[in-house]
Structure 1
Amino acid sequence: MRIIIDGDACPVKQEIYQVALETKTPVILVSSYDHVSDKHPEQVEVVYVDRGADSADYKIIGIIQAHDILVTQDYGLASLALPKKVRVLHHTGKEYTYANIDQLLEQRHHSAKLRRSGQRTKGPSKLTIEQKEIFKALLTKIIAKGVS
């Protein structure tokens, strides 16, 4: 079991690093060269990809394995990862599942249509401390139980 992070816009990296250190769970951070940093704990393997809309997604799909945990806010990537028997978490502490992914993808499609027609859609709210704690608790619970 490993934690794979879709890293360019992940607001819970520090929480992931903390849980990973406590549970001795390997972490792979996938990020574009636009976000190169040397500020990662030593247990974190960093994989850099070329800039491009889906470069990180393609790399992640190529490296994830059954029983890994993927952290992403990308519904499309989540939908591609689920069939690989991966647990997929959103940074707000919600889990992507077969029960909710279709509705999430439909909402994304609807919002994209609105934006293409010139309408403005509301972006995500700022992540709260409570949401970070909910995420951290969920990640800890999944690791403790083992990924099924």
Structure 2
Amino acid sequence: MSEAPNPIAIYVDADACPVKPEIYRVAERHRLKVFVVANSFMAVPRESWIERVIVSDGFDAADNWIAERVGRGSIVVTSDIPLADRCIKAGADVIGPTGKPFTEASIGMALATRDMMEDLRAAGTVTGGPKPFSARDRSAFLQALDVAIQRLKRAGFTG
């Protein structure tokens, strides 16, 4: 007799995540557990399927909490590229808030670009941050999240 698959869970790197309301709506529709991970108090809906996790304010505490718990059947929402890399290596699906999925094929280039931009900012060559979050980004995120959930359900994970 085979062991039942684990349910799908969504892990949110919450401190600067602009799509938390969308995550809650999609998770409710699919009956998924959501872990909202931050290093300070953050208001979240009072639902049994949403768990607020407050970690210490130590360096990478939220990233470590998430990376130590994810695996196949987990969806991680983050714009933190080193965290995305760790989660991909653990077998999780990883989506940026703009809907960009991070994959084994794309994470190397994302890390290299991040490092290059960090160097350019340190040298004063680049002074701006990322472009403003848009309605198109929100829509792309919702589509990417739905694709990830459907793929996991087809693979036998439960909602």
Which is higher, the Rg of structure 1 or of structure 2? Answer: 2
Q: Which runs of 5+ in 2 are unaligned?
A: 1-7
8 Å contact kept, 2:44–2:52: no
User: Does residue 8 in structure 1 map to residue 15 in structure 2?
Assistant: yes
SS state at 1:56 partner: helix
Pairwise CA RMSD of aligned residues? 1.5
Aligned AA (1:59): W
TM-score under structure 1 length normalisation: 0.91
Going from structure 1 to structure 2, the CA distance change for 1:121 and 1:52 (only over 3 Å counts) comes to farther
Write the deviation string for residues 71-103 of structure 1: whole angstroms up to 9, x where unpaired: 000110011111111000001111001111111
Alignment check: 8 A CA contact 1:30 1:56 kept: yes
Aligned twin of 2:44: 39
More helix by share: 1
SS of the aligned residue for 1:5 comes to: strand
**2:55: which partner in 1?**
49
Contact 1:17 1:41 in 2 (8 A): no
Distance in 1 (CA, whole Å) between partners of 2:13 and 2:36 is: 7
How many residues end up aligned between the 2 structures? 146
Give the share of equivalent positions with the same residue, in percent.
33
Query: 1:27: which partner in 2?
Result: 34
Shift >6 Å, 4+ stretches:
none
**For residue 96 of structure 2, what is the aligned residue in structure 1?**
90
Q: TM-score, normalised by structure 2?
A: 0.85
Partner of 2:5: none
Structure 1: unaligned runs, 5 residues or longer:
none
